[in-house]
Amino acid sequence: MRKFSGSRVMRTIAISRVPIRNLPKRCYVPNCDTNQSQYLENFVRFAIPNITDGLGSSPDPCKRFEIIPGEDYCGVHAFNVNKTVECDKFVWDHSEFESTALSEFNIVCKKSWNGAASSSVFMFGVLFGSAGFGTFADKFGRKNVMMSASLIMLVSSIGTAFAPSFGIFSFLRFITAAAVSGLFQTGYILAVEYIGTSKRLICANIMQIVFAMGELVLSLVAYFVRKWRYLELAISIPAAVLLVYYWLLPESVRWLISKGKHSKAKKTILKAAKWNNVTVPEHLLRAAEYSNLDPEEDQRQRSAGPLSLIRTPQIRKWSLNIFFNWIVNSMVYYGLSLSTGHLSGSVYGNFAILAAVEIPAVLLATWALYYCGRRYVLCAVMVFGGLSCGATVFVPQYLAWVSTLLAVLGKSAIAASFAIIYIYSAEIYPTVLRSTGIGFSSMFARLGGMIAPIINELRKVYQPLPMIIFAIASISSGILALALPETHNRQLPESIEEAESFGSPRDAGFERMLNRPRNLPAIGSVSPRALRRNVEETRRLLDDC
């Protein structure tokens, strides 16, 4: 089953995340500009006023000096430097991109709010897809939802490249964002549910690493493809490969059993066993044919939905904690990305650096998770990320590189915590709620992503304020993570009842739940899960001998 981990899915999703980017621009000056004019011309210094911000001085993108009536030449004395007029035509800087959606659709100056609105629509699409596809995956199956999301993503992303207007462009981005979100989380859940306990961590975090590698591929492709429509096609068409997965990927066995589809689960297990050249004991297959619950409880599990995340006390407590952690992770992650967007002179270099720092962070986190468990490592990286953000407040302005370094270290820690919270959420929620739980967690993460730009704007009020907020939120989230149960080397809970017992003192209740006798007339007084565990323990003893 390891062959179906879905790591290639993550790479395709990662290169699909193309942001709307604006190009530097200035007014078209009627007396001076021609069709061959460049962004920086000698006449710019006397025809257009300069503006100064934290990045230096540049031509005003929306205004130019008024041309004195009767003066039809390009010279210093042809312009009234005491009066400016709004631009009606623009000249763009094509040093990094030949065209973007904003430049082609002329979303500039007074219309620039349309660009921000389009970005918000994109984030709402991710939010909608997280909740919607997550719920559908628990109802209709992981594979069906994943393949539907793949097809929707392929059609909408290719359609985006041919969008005739900015409104249609934004609508198609909303659809693409929803599909990408659904594809990512269902692919992740499939991998977690396919893989056994001993390999679950490394598999899940390899997928996070491949995600970052996809971002690196995106920066390389974008470097050579400078027109946004061609770039959109270049990163969308490869997604057609995902459609082949319909014939390669089986449905999650855990989901099939949770829905009472035991015959299909048995066929999938036998197929995987044949592929891996192993034999499954017949008594284990017979055990899988019996429901672990009484009929009333079984029906309750099958009807589990979003409200089940807050219906029972333990899951409600964990859900609120996890939702807050996802919000903080997303807020700090995107907030730091915005704050460290000028690591080098090239947007491609910036993007690649910010993606590359995630790989060693995830590798280090994976190593720590093996030896220290989920809870303490999540707490440590969140607190470290918060302290890194907070430390930037005390760095003097002439040591700006130190602030940048601390921000990158903070982002690395948050990238590691993102990988941890994904696997942690998948392990805490029971099978009947796993996709819904991760879907709603991801939905709350989008709220954090929406808040991040607003928090960054607070630097206009007080320069260190955004970093102070990121630090406090990250440290608080890390401390609250200690209230979550440890899931390292534990069986995934299947039902809501098992998940509730997972929170018993020292988790003893969960162990009793798994081992207690149940009504299984054809097998006896040993539960299927306990029987499987006994077989595994026997095999380990034989191997030791």
Could you read off the pLDDT of 334-373 as tens digits, one per residue?
777 766 544 445 677 777 777 788 888 888 888 888 888 8
Closest Cα to residue 425, out of 121, 143, 189, 265?
Answer: 189
Task: Give the chain's mean pLDDT.
Answer: 77
What mean pLDDT is predicted for residues 391-403? 79
Phi, psi of 130, rounded to the nearest 5 degrees: -60, -50
Give the separation between CA 239 and CA 153, rounded to whole angstroms. 8
Give the separation between CA 333 and CA 398, rounded to whole angstroms. 25
The tens digit of pLDDT for each residue in 48-80 reads 888 776 556 778 888 888 888 887 788 888 888
Higher pLDDT, 51 or 17: 51
Cβ 190 vs Cβ 438: under 8 Å: no
Place 382 in a pLDDT band, splitting at 50, 70 and 90.
very high
pLDDT score, position 171: 92
Place 310 in a pLDDT band, splitting at 50, 70 and 90.
confident
Residue 42: is it exposed, middle or buried by C-beta count within 10 angstroms (0-12/13-18/19+)?
exposed
Place 469 in a pLDDT band, splitting at 50, 70 and 90.
very high
pLDDT score, position 517: 39
pLDDT score, position 523: 33
Going through 347-446 in order, the beta strands assigned E by DSSP cover none
Give the separation between CA 528 and CA 205, rounded to whole angstroms. 29
What mean pLDDT is predicted for residues 319-327? 93
Which residue ranges make up each domain of the chain?
A: 24-92, 306-503
pLDDT score, position 296: 54
pLDDT score, position 516: 42
**Beta-carbon neighbour count of residue 475 at 10 Å?**
20
Residue 29 has pLDDT above 60, yes or no: yes
pLDDT score, position 183: 87
Pick the CATH number of 306-503 from 3.20.20.370, 1.20.58.100, 1.20.1250.20, 3.40.190.10: 1.20.1250.20
The one-character DSSP state at 227 is B
Give the separation between CA 175 and CA 170, rounded to whole angstroms. 9
One-letter identity of residue 161: A
Four-CA torsion 252, 255, 259, 262, nearest 10 degrees: 50
Residue 8 has pLDDT above 50, yes or no: no
**pTM (two decimals):** 0.72
Going through 75-141 in order, the beta strands assigned E by DSSP cover 79-86, 90-92
Residue 527 has pLDDT above 50, yes or no: no
pLDDT score, position 378: 93
- Show Cβ contacts of residue 450 under 8 Å, excluding neighbours closer than 6 positions: 120, 123
What mean pLDDT is predicted for residues 249-254? 84
What mean pLDDT is predicted for residues 119-139? 82
Query: CA separation (Å) from 54 to 205, 390, 431, 531?
Result: 38, 21, 50, 65
Residue 509 has pLDDT above 80, yes or no: no
What mean pLDDT is predicted for residues 88-102? 80
One-letter identity of residue 425: S
Closest Cα to residue 315, out of 503, 508, 507?
Answer: 503
Give the separation between CA 246 and CA 255, rounded to whole angstroms. 17
What mean pLDDT is predicted for residues 453-465? 80
Q: Which two tokens stand for residue 309?
A: 């995340």
Query: CA separation (Å) from 488 to 67, 155, 265, 370, 446?
Result: 71, 40, 26, 8, 27
Q: Which two tokens stand for residue 481?
A: 């993570």
Of 153-157, 422-426, 496-500, 514-518, which has the strongest mean pLDDT?
153-157
Give the separation between CA 416 and CA 125, rounded to whole angstroms. 25
Higher pLDDT, 382 or 274: 382
pLDDT score, position 206: 80
- Reduced to 3 states (helix: H, G, I; strand: E, B; else coil), residue 85 is strand
What mean pLDDT is predicted for residues 527-534? 49
Cβ 9 vs Cβ 242: under 8 Å: yes
Cβ 130 vs Cβ 443: under 8 Å: yes
Residue 14 has pLDDT above 50, yes or no: no
pLDDT score, position 495: 77
Cβ 427 vs Cβ 490: under 8 Å: yes
pLDDT score, position 299: 53
**Residues of the chain above pLDDT 90, percent:** 11
Give the separation between CA 69 and CA 57, rounded to whole angstroms. 29
Q: Which two tokens stand for residue 276?
A: 């891996």
